[in-house]
Structure 1
């Protein structure tokens, strides 16, 4: 791809196209023998024979000079029209000036034709040369190609610019989403630390160690586009351990992780909002509070299931202060994985369940 986008490659392609286009007429030009045969036929039917033909080298020189002049005019017009006349005149609706410029180039072709093939400037027996219409047709062809070329490169440039803007917008939006996830998560973790400090729990010190590992991941790894799946799993496990230390035996947590390979990558902090949501709504004034977390990876496909029961009377209150974790992760899934993910959410009879299927890289 870098070769095709190289300026030198583009220049070489232009040169190759011009060589093929400009010099192809030489391969189809009548030979000197054909000219002589034509003269003999005309002598047979005319009362006064034509003068002896001019030397072949002289004829070849005249045609070469004309084609060289015409080639210079056509090549100059192609790029002048594409990079000057169209942007400066046609695109700005200065149509009279644009047409005038085109007529000027047509006039140059006529002048070149007359100057080189005018019988007054050459022996009277010399043929008048190629028809003027041939040069005019080539000019129209170059005009059409120049307009098409400019239209195409403008379209490519616009699409590239739009893509760059879209990518920048996506990067900006993802950065904002990540920055929103991290404080929200930290707010909940610190609340857990405060609770353990008040209870004078012996788990406070190991919890702080776990928190430091979480901070390290959030500060150094979460800024990457992709992280190893194993790092994301360790992050989730550390969070679960912190919550287990906080709730002790009041919440039953079942975790099942089955991954076929460590060579998978995922968007950082993509799974934690689902787990965080389960602990937020699946704890408190709930009988037999249970949270089930299952992660299964096979052949580049990740299946992530999180279920929790909740107190329907407290759900509305918790929703009002639930933050933005789930909403953000759904938005990030749409931005990053588009059609490569599927998510189903079930919420009925006091049971909340999320099924996420994701294609990994």
Structure 2
């Protein structure tokens, strides 16, 4: 399942319309140039309509079936036998449609001289059409995949450096140490467990997050430790809730994506409010989907959570690691900020 925004779908439709229009225009002009008759508008219009109907009704359907159904479902997934069988069905079946349909269309719709129906010509044409469309689609897929691999690798290297330098916010880190120091002077029973949580956060960010993917369970433990340490810092400023419904904690996800939205909620909410602050953090997962919902309030003097490098970086990472497989909605209404993120893990 691919998740696409409305803007992406509109862009894709516009691209396909432009490509088809260009092909139709090129074919029309080639017909016109090849004729020895003098150019007239009616002459051009007739060939344009003939090229349009032939391409849209006879050529485009098998091409789209091949590149959007047969190739992704069977060739890409290495189900070669089914792929070959389906390809033969399309070539022979649609070859007959072209062989019988094109002469009839040309004769009855465009007053062309009647030509004998020849299904073998249609099948030959289909072989060429399928071969060209398959090679172009595979070349495009290879180019996109190579670009993504290079970009993700570069991004991972930069991320690794930033994790070592900036993963734990210095302000959060030093405040936590100061609070732990105060608790140790009071000989609080909470001190050992909080030190352990801080140690787990440091280990996770420095070592575990070097991997391109981590388990959902590891991310949840990191989030819970972060929340516990934040509760210690903020005491009675407000309420923090973390609701989770996890189908499989072993499922893999890119590291340090979910925490950005939680950090953002604290940075622009709790850190600037003396009381009545709240953060509602909800996380649900299935075998295919991760659904994160974060809701927090902020002070009237704050602009909300929208700005900052953190959100821009996570948007960039999402576009690279989960292209066409994520949906991110960020809203601000009055003094409440919400984030709704869906990740497709398949």
Give the Cα–Cα distance (whole angstroms) in 1 for the partners of residues 153 and 230 of structure 2.
32
> Given that residues 309 and 350 in structure 1 are in contact (C-alpha distance below 8 angstroms), is that contact kept between their aligned partners in structure 2?
yes
Gap runs ≥5 in structure 1: 1-152
**Cα gap change, 1:306/1:263 in structure 2, threshold over 3 Å: closer, same or farther?**
same
2:198 paired with 1:211: yes
Gap runs ≥5 in structure 2: 1-134
2:227 paired with 1:244: no
- RMSD of the alignment, in Å? 3.3
**Cα gap change, 1:161/1:254 in structure 2, threshold over 3 Å: closer, same or farther?**
closer
> Given that residues 255 and 293 in structure 1 are in contact (C-alpha distance below 8 angstroms), is that contact kept between their aligned partners in structure 2?
yes
> Given that residues 197 and 225 in structure 2 are in contact (C-alpha distance below 8 angstroms), is that contact kept between their aligned partners in structure 1?
yes
2:184 paired with 1:184: no
Match in the other structure for 2:263: 276
> Given that residues 296 and 338 in structure 2 are in contact (C-alpha distance below 8 angstroms), is that contact kept between their aligned partners in structure 1?
yes
Structure whose CA Rg is larger: 1
1:80-129, Cα deviation, whole Å (9 max, x unpaired): xxxxxxxxxxxxxxxxxxxxxxxxxxxxxxxxxxxxxxxxxxxxxxxxxx
**Cα gap change, 1:315/1:286 in structure 2, threshold over 3 Å: closer, same or farther?**
farther
> Given that residues 254 and 292 in structure 1 are in contact (C-alpha distance below 8 angstroms), is that contact kept between their aligned partners in structure 2?
yes
Give secondary structure in 1 for the equivalent of 2:302: helix
Match in the other structure for 2:219: 232
Match in the other structure for 1:33: none
Match in the other structure for 2:280: 292
Q: Which of 171, 181, 190 is the aligned partner of 2:153?
A: 171
Number of residue pairs aligned between Structure 1 and Structure 2: 209
> Given that residues 236 and 275 in structure 2 are in contact (C-alpha distance below 8 angstroms), is that contact kept between their aligned partners in structure 1?
no
**Cα gap change, 1:195/1:346 in structure 2, threshold over 3 Å: closer, same or farther?**
farther
Give secondary structure in 1 for the equivalent of 2:301: helix
Choose between structure 1 and 2 for higher RCO, CA contacts under 8 A separated by at least 6 residues.
Answer: 2
> Given that residues 180 and 195 in structure 2 are in contact (C-alpha distance below 8 angstroms), is that contact kept between their aligned partners in structure 1?
no
> Given that residues 286 and 310 in structure 1 are in contact (C-alpha distance below 8 angstroms), is that contact kept between their aligned partners in structure 2?
no
Match in the other structure for 2:118: none
TM-score (normalised: structure 2): 0.53
1:332 CA drift (Å):
0.5
> Given that residues 252 and 289 in structure 1 are in contact (C-alpha distance below 8 angstroms), is that contact kept between their aligned partners in structure 2?
yes
